[in-house]
Amino acid sequence: MSTATDLEPIFEEAKALLEERESLLGDSWRTKGNIRNAMSQIFRKQRYLESMFDNKKTDDPRFTEDLKDLMNWCAMALWFVKSEKETK
């Protein structure tokens, strides 16, 4: 089995979380955000996850949810980079 195949369900879970959040929040990340905002969210999530890990709270459902959020913020940051290149 390949890494891509092994990780596919995790990417699907992250996408489902993004779709769930988007139904509540809309696309404000895109219309009111930018690469700097996305990077700030990535760093904020990383610090939060590190704190949970250090405090041995990896069994908390919020830990896995925030890992998926981190994946989504990374994807949004890439979207901003790609969009910026396309507009130049």
Q: What are the sequence ranges of the domains in the chain?
A: 3-87
**Whole-structure pTM value:** 0.89
Nearest to 30 by CA among 84, 67, 71, 85: 84
CA 88 – CA 84 distance, rounded (Å): 7
CB neighbour burial string for 42-54, b if at least 16 within 10 angstroms, e if fewer: beebeeebeebee
Q: Kindly give the residue spans of alpha helices, DSSP state H, lying in 1-88.
A: 3-25, 28-31, 35-54, 61-87
Whether 5 and 36 have beta carbons less than 8 Å apart is answered as no
pLDDT in tens, the chain (88 residues): 899 999 999 999 999 999 999 988 888 888 888 899 999 999 999 999 999 999 999 999 999 999 999 999 999 999 999 988 777 6
